Amino acid sequence: MAENTAIFDGASSLSGTALAYIGDAVFEVCVRRGLIALGIHETAELNRLALLFVKASSQSDAIENILPLLTNKEDAIFKRGRNANGISAPKSASIAQYRRATGFEALFGYLYLHGENDRIDFLFNKAFEKTFDNIGNEAMNK
């Protein structure tokens, strides 16, 4: 079992929005890596499919898939991000969806800063299991 190494010792004290800031980048890498792993290599198709993941509404739905799997600490981090001050939703999502998406990204940021890469992969795959299945089925039917 690989040892987890914290990247930033002060991660526990960061605000929910700061955790979401780094988590957004971590999440983007997960999406890109997942799509490439499906064998999709055309840039236009990769960009089209990435939208299925990065929209606040998609992330809001995805967090619901993994909430029962979160530890108490992970749940607290999700709530810290979700309840952060200064969040204003874009026109494409409700404030509730955007807040859940911010909490989702905060969780990924926290896990990344604590070196929990295996946990990130596990939660990401569980969160978007159906989405990846649908993409795979769509690719097979082309």
Task: Return the higher-pLDDT residue of 61 and 89.
Answer: 61
Q: 1: pLDDT confidence band, cut at 50, 70 and 90?
A: very low
Question: Catalytic: which of 9, 24, 121, 133?
Answer: 24
- The residue behind tokens 């990247």 is 7
- Rounded Cα gap, residues 20 and 103, in angstroms: 7
Are residues 105 and 19 in contact, defined by beta-carbon separation less than 8 angstroms? yes
Going along the chain from its start, the domains and CATH numbers come out as 14-140 (1.10.1520.10)
75 is catalytic: no
Model pLDDT, residue 33: 96
In the predicted structure, residue 28 carries a pLDDT above the cut 60: yes
For residue 4, CA distances in Å to 51, 74, 112 come to 31, 16, 10
Span of 9-18, 41-50, 125-134 with lowest mean pLDDT? 9-18
> To which H or E segment does residue 76 belong?
helix 72-82
Per DSSP, the three-state class of 52 is helix
